[in-house]
């Protein structure tokens, strides 16, 4: 990765799961990184890697517009990467107001701060594959954004708002849409891969919230971090566009369980709850667009799952 000059990068949600891996990459490359996020658990990847001591870490809620703008004024970032969001579909179903406030208005606050800050050369806003809504075909970047449940709609709006600030105010905005991200540091154990790891480590039964047939892409978190840095590095070619980021690992939940058993050489005990609400049955991202620029995955499913399992076993306590 080439150096970004000057070196000031502000990452919202930088203490979270994906953000921590991106921040780790930027810190390793000697960038001056500011992280704004809400409080995160002490056993999160961010704190276990002591990234709070290697960055300008500020505990700020992006729903507080004045505080967001104050950070931008003090830091004067050159690049902004907006990852902060409420990411859990079930929580969005239970508390739609909170997810709309954070994911929609929080994004507006960040982009307003960008609009009012001179010298910003690049902005990346993380949307989601959920922004596309339901389909029976792979999504391309030209597929319509038509989420119809709270989390999905919040990401459709995030996406469109980012595009609006780019087109209306001339901000150099990139939008990214990820598949299902897995890896070290995801402590939301109701997600399938963290849930599998916890069940194996504690010798307990994995509870599958869906009927097991839901199909998703699974992409390793460090590939997401590398892709994000790649797009920022190519800002002159990528500004004003959206990019899908995923992998060739497209499985149903039950097929993922079978593959994980083969890779880890362990039997997974599971039960089907079929209790999931507001989930999309089929999702698959066509990410040929970013691949045409030269990006590619660097981690196989095997390697990613093995490293992820080891991390959970070494770092997490399950009481």
The conformation of residue 203, written as its DSSP 8-state character, comes to: T
Output b/e per residue, 44-72; b: 16+ Cβ within 10 A: bbbbbbebbeebebbebbbbeeebbbebb
Q: Could you tell me the end-to-end alpha-carbon distance of the chain, in angstroms, rounded to an integer?
A: 41
Catalytic residue among 151, 218, 220, 312: 151
- Using DSSP's 3-state secondary structure scheme, residue 278 falls into coil
* Distance (Å, whole) CA 173 – CA 243: 11
SS3 196: helix
- Please report the beta strands in 111-241, taking only residues with DSSP state E, as ranges in sequence order: 122-126, 173-178, 180-182, 206-208, 215-220
Active site residue 151: yes
Query: 264 in helix, strand or coil?
Result: helix
CB neighbour list of residue 165: distance below 8 Å, 6 or more residues apart? 111, 114, 115, 171, 173
CA angle, 229 as apex, 20 and 242 as ends, to 5°? Answer: 110
Neighbours of 31 (CB within 10 A): 22
Tokens of 278: 């507001």
Q: At what angle do helices 150-169 and 106-115 cross, to 10 degrees?
A: 10
Neighbour-count burial of 222, counting CB atoms closer than 10 A to its CB (0-12 exposed, 13-18 middle, 19+ buried): buried
b vs e for 274-299, b when ≥16 Cβ sit within 10 Å of the residue's Cβ? eebebbbeebbbebebbeeeebebeb
Query: Half-sphere exposure (CA, 13 Å, Cβ side) for 126?
Result: 26
The catalytic site residues sit at 151
């Amino acid at each position: 990765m080439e150096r970004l000059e000057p070196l000031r990068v502000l990452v919202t949600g930088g203490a979270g799961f994906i953000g921590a891996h991106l921040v780790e990459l930027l810190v390793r490359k000697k960038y001056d990184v500011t992280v704004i996020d809400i409080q995160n658990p002490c056993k999160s990847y961010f704190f276990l890697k002591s990234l709070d001591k290697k960055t300008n870490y500020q505990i700020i809620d992006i729903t507080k517009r004045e505080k967001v703008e104050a950070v931008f004024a003090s830091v004067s970032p050159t690049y902004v990467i907006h990852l902060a969001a409420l990411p859990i579909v079930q929580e969005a179903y239970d508390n739609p107001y909170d997810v709309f406030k954070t994911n929609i208005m929080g994004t507006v606050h960040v982009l307003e701060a960008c609009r009012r800050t001179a010298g910003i050369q690049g902005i990346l806003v993380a949307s989601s594959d959920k922004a596309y809504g339901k389909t029976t075909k792979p999504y391309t970047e030209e597929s319509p954004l038509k989420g119809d449940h709270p989390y999905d709609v919040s990401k459709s709006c995030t996406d469109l708002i980012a595009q609006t600030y780019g087109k209306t105010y001339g901000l150099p905005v990139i939008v990214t849409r990820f598949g299902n991200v897995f890896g070290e540091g995801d402590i939301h154990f109701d997600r399938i891969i963290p849930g599998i790891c916890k069940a194996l480590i504690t010798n307990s039964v994995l509870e599958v919230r869906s009927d097991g047939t839901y199909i998703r892409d699974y992409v390793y978190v460090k590939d997401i971090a590398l892709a994000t840095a790649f797009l920022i590095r190519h800002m002159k070619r990528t500004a004003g566009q959206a990019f899908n980021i995923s992998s060739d690992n497209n499985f149903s939940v039950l097929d993922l369980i079978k593959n994980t058993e083969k890779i880890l050489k362990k039997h997974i005990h599971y039960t089907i709850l079929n209790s999931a609400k507001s989930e999309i049955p089929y999702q698959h991202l066509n990410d040929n667009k970013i691949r045409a620029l030269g990006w590619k995955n660097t981690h196989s499913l095997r390697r990613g799952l093995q490293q992820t399992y080891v991390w959970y076993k070494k770092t997490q306590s399950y009481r």
